[in-house]
Amino acid sequence: MTSHKAVTLGLAGTGRIGTSHAETLKNFPNVANVVVADADPGRARAAADKLGLEFAPDLDALFAADIDGLVITTATDSHPELITRAVDAGLPVFCEKPVAADIEGTLAVLDHVQNSTVPVQIGFQRRFDAGYRAARAAIASGSLGWLHTLRATTLDPTPPPADYIPRSGGIFRDCGVHDFDIIRWLTGREIVSVYATGTNQGDPVFTESGDVDTAAALLRLDNDTLATVSLTRYNGAGYDVRLEALGSLSNAIVGLDDRSPLTSVEPDYIPSTFPPYPGFMERFRRAYTEELAAFVSVVTGTLKNPCSPTDALEAFYVAEACELSRREDRPVDVAEVRR
């Protein structure tokens, strides 16, 4: 599509993030309508009524509607079928990560869409955050000198629902994958080896699911820059997502502001009066808006796809290598998990 007319978008999945995306999309001047559907028709109807949107009783009805693109915010196991179905119908796709639940499923989707010109944008919203974009520009400008260390954190204040843990894919695939993607995107480099570990001190469901509630990974990039990634489900002080890019001349810090849940014990420290972000939706609200605006531009043919399934696969490979490293307590080359 190359026209600049207002578009109609379909949205599959009206949970928390799907409903939020629908509300954002409906307020764009170049979006004429949003048609919503869900595996639970009642939930989709409730979202449609609340937001004043069109309701589709099932996915067949959604695809039969006169839509110009599809936004996928459904459960992970439905992503491959919805992506391939939309591409076969000629509909540009935005899909929340991951492409699929595992590498094999991701490769199957890539194999299906590789010869198509229909764009598939994967939702790594940090690429649209102003802080991460400023850090990327600083790195590219050379103003930091050569990078020697990157430090990334994704620290959730509380765990997700217990029934989510067994199907999450584990902390590296579910949570750390955002850090792996943003490290690749910021630096333009590939992650070539990892050493990862994890522990459990919280809910037994993590141990029972073969997962961990706290993890750390040491990554080596292809130019010998080192990166550390820290993850936890139990950061009671608040949602803490930061990145430090440390160079030979200077540094760039993302996520260090008045809402960072950090408390200095130095005697002259003046604490912030602003509350920390309670979660990812609030921390990245502007980034989600920018990401969806980009997708509308992809649909209208005015922007090249900013995050392809291939990008998602590369981050997934790193997550897979970290999980293997954690389980076997050894360094792992990312090449070892490539298919």
Q: How far apart are CA 261 and CA 212, in angstroms?
A: 22
DSSP 40: S
Q: How far apart are CA 139 and CA 247, in angstroms?
A: 9
Residues written for the chain: 339
Q: What is the pLDDT along the chain (339 residues), one digit of tens a residue?
A: 444 679 999 999 999 999 999 999 999 999 999 999 999 999 999 999 999 999 999 999 999 999 999 999 999 999 999 999 999 999 999 999 999 999 999 999 999 999 999 999 999 999 999 999 999 999 999 999 999 999 999 999 999 999 999 989 999 999 999 999 999 999 999 999 999 999 999 999 999 999 999 999 999 999 999 999 999 999 999 999 999 999 999 999 999 999 999 999 999 999 999 999 999 999 999 999 999 999 999 999 999 999 999 999 999 999 999 999 999 999 999 999 998
* DSSP E strand stretches across the chain: 7-12, 31-37, 54-55, 69-72, 93-96, 120-123, 147-155, 191-199, 214-221, 226-232, 240-247, 251-254, 332-333
β partners of residue 54: 35
Q: What is the pLDDT of residue 339?
A: 87
Q: How far apart are CA 224 and CA 232, in angstroms?
A: 26
CA nearest neighbour of 156 among 97, 226, 213: 213
**HSE of 245 in the Cβ direction (CA atoms, 13 Å)?**
27
Checking phi first, is residue 222 left (phi over 0); if not, alpha (psi -120 to 50) or beta?
A: alpha
Q: How far apart are CA 175 and CA 173, in angstroms?
A: 6
Q: What is the pLDDT of residue 2?
A: 45
Q: What is the pLDDT of residue 5?
A: 79
Strand 191-199 relative to strand 214-221: parallel, antiparallel, unpaired?
antiparallel
Q: How far apart are CA 232 and CA 244, in angstroms?
A: 18
CA dihedral (289, 290, 293, 294) positive or negative: negative
The CATH homologous superfamily of the domain defined by 7-126+287-308: NAD(P)-binding Rossmann-like Domain (3.40.50.720)
Kindly report, as residue ranges, where domains of CATH 3.40.50.720 are found in the chain.
Answer: 7-126+287-308
* DSSP E strand stretches across 233-305: 240-247, 251-254
State the first-to-last Cα distance of the chain, in angstroms, to the nearest integer: 34
Tokens coding 18:
């799907």
Instruction: Tell how far CA 30 is from the center of its chain.
Output: 24
Q: How far apart are CA 339 and CA 335, in angstroms?
A: 9
Kindly report, as residue ranges, where domains of CATH 3.30.360.10 are found in the chain.
Answer: 127-284+315-337
The CATH architecture to which 127-284+315-337 belongs is: 2-Layer Sandwich (3.30)
Q: What is the pLDDT of residue 320?
A: 97
Q: Which residues contact 190 (CB under 8 A, 6 or more apart)?
A: 184, 221, 222, 314, 334
pLDDT tens, residue by residue, 263-282: 999 999 999 999 999 999 99
